[in-house]
Chain A
Amino acid sequence: MRDAIARWRDELGDTYVLGVVRVAFGVLLFANALRAARELQDGYFGDVFHWPLLPENLVPSREVYGTIVAVQVLLSALVVAGHRARGALFASAVLGAYVMFCDRLQFHHNRWALFCYSFLLAFAPCDRSFTVGTVVPATRVGPMWAARLAALQVSIVYVASGGSKLCDPDWRGGRVLYERVALYGQNAIDAGVPEWFMHWLGQTDTTSMLAKMAIATELALAFGLWSRHARILCLWWGLWFHITIEGTSRVEGFTWLTLAAYALFCTPDVGARKLYYDKTRFRGRVYAHAVALLDWFARFEIRPWTPDGIERGHTIVAIRRDGVHVTGIHALAMVVRCTPLLFPLWGPIALATMFAKPPLSRGEADDGVV
């Protein structure tokens, strides 16, 4: 246990991906501040019924609140730009929580989660990539403890959510889902969801099964995300779980917040995989350019190579972390696994690779050949 704590406390890693997470949080903070500004235009919450956690004399006046909202907009822009980003994240989290404490009617899980994640990320060196107009340190390698703690917050949310559902007989038994379908099923049909599907969804057996699946998913994600072997499957399953929720419920930015937080589970390195392409082929250049555009986490080192004689040469050859060379569907699976926009496709493609010809081993091709 002591060793595990020491490893977590002292871990160093490339902080490139933390920059991506920071930008995503910054965009969500910006959206949150804009929402507050729009609501302020309709009226100040302190002038009407509100429910503060703090003593009423600590609730800001209309003028002060207007300043707070303006500052929140500015801070979110700093977070996105990476300029004094950690301080801006910290201040955004503190100000956001303060406003929530001034009126608990404004409490939403997604907002509270955003402030929690932002607060934790402020302690991580997330300002060494994706920055504008600021000097970054010579090395991106930095301490990962706060990023790991923010990742732990993802699990905390899942445990709390899944655990509360598990303890609730109405949720466990499917009654809550059944009633949600009964209430909103017609909306889904109106939006184009097939009627037969909603009819199937509205069966008590179906909702009972789905409720158990949802609870199992949340609890499995809480722990599975920390398993090296199960992580990629959990990330993919969790992605679709949240996309499904996004499509069926109003959750403000919670889907995008959680998906951004998923990036905290990336191994903290860059270019650990290689992607070689045949620059003499148009397709090779297009594929390489596309991967470079989508490789937000810098998972690949992308380089042109000289065509070889293996199976009349390959347009693309990827080299996994373990040094195994892969082509065709195996390379495709690797690319979709590592690129956020294509990641939703990873599951079926990874399944298809199980039925495809095995990848090339290191003995069949090496860096010199490809």
Chain B
Amino acid sequence: MVDLSPHARVAFAVLWIATQAALIGTASRRSDHIFGFRMFPEASTLEIVVSRMTAQGPAPAPLGEWAARDKEGQLRHFSWRDRVHDPILRSLDTRVFASYGVDTQLARLQVALDDVADHIDGDDETRWLRADVRVWKNGRDPYTATLLSHPRVSR
């Protein structure tokens, strides 16, 4: 490793501290607050229920499992968990602890919905995915947040 000259040490330290300050100061602006060192930010819980929207209307997907026909009319099975392995986001229809807070989990869930919607090739029925999330923020009375995936392009 290169040993920095005295002047470079000062510049390095200023840059390091400024970077950390910027990352911590702007953590609120990132949906999952990463790099903010906000330890144990909440004690919230949530329950995610995934469903899908089809031409015939909403259709449930209990435990993230559903069957849909492909272009040839063949019935195929799909599972949320085939694509989503995150221990919180894969736990559907059950109340789980929202690690790193509700904002973080909702932000991740939104990206997961879009991701799954992009990766269910062979499902010719689902127009978009929907997640109804029952949220108990720090033990308060629950409220429900609804997230939608982006519409599936080919539908």
Contact = CB atoms under 8 A, between A and B. Distances in A.
Interface of A: 5, 9-10, 43, 45, 48-49, 51, 86-87, 90, 104-105, 107, 109, 112-113, 116, 120, 122-123, 125, 143, 145-146, 149, 152-153, 156-157, 159-161, 164-165, 168, 170-171, 175-180, 182-183, 249
A183 B38 contact: no
A355 B21 CA distance: 45
B40 A249 contact: yes
A175 B24 CA distance: 24
A179 B38 contact: no
Greatest chain A CB density within 10 A among B13, B27, B43 is at B43
Contacts of A122: 1
A165 B6 CA distance: 37
Contacts, number: 103
13 contacts: A5-B10, A49-B115, A49-B116, A51-B111, A112-B34, A116-B20, A125-B3, A149-B12, A149-B16, A161-B39, A175-B139, A179-B43, A182-B139
Interface residues of B, number: 40
Contacts of B153: none
Interface of B: 1, 3-4, 6, 9-10, 12-13, 16-17, 20, 24, 27, 32, 34-45, 82-86, 89, 97, 108, 111-112, 115-116, 138-139
Nearest to A254: B39
Given A161-B37, A177-B43, A179-B139, A123 B1 contact: yes
Nearest to A250: B99
A104 to B, nearest CB: 6
Contacts of B40: 176, 180, 249
Contacts of A104: 32, 34
A144 B83 CA distance: 48
Contacts of A120: 16
A107 to B, nearest CB: 5
A5 B17 CA distance: 14
Contacts of A43: 85
Contacts of A51: 108, 111
A105 B27 CA distance: 15
A125 to B, nearest CB: 8
Given A9-B6, A48-B84, A160 B108 contact: no
B12 A160 contact: no
B83 A86 contact: no
Contacts of B27: 160, 164
A160 B138 contact: no
Contacts of B32: 104, 107
B33 to A, nearest CB: 9
Contacts of A175: 43, 138-139
Given A9-B10, A165-B38, A175-B43, 9 more contacts: A105-B86, A112-B35, A149-B12, A153-B20, A156-B20, A160-B24, A178-B139, A179-B44, A180-B40
A159 B21 CA distance: 10
A261 B82 CA distance: 40
Contacts of B17: 152, 156
Given A49-B112, A49-B116, A149-B16, A183 B35 contact: no
B140 to A, nearest CB: 8
Contacts of B37: 109, 112-113, 156-157, 160-161, 164
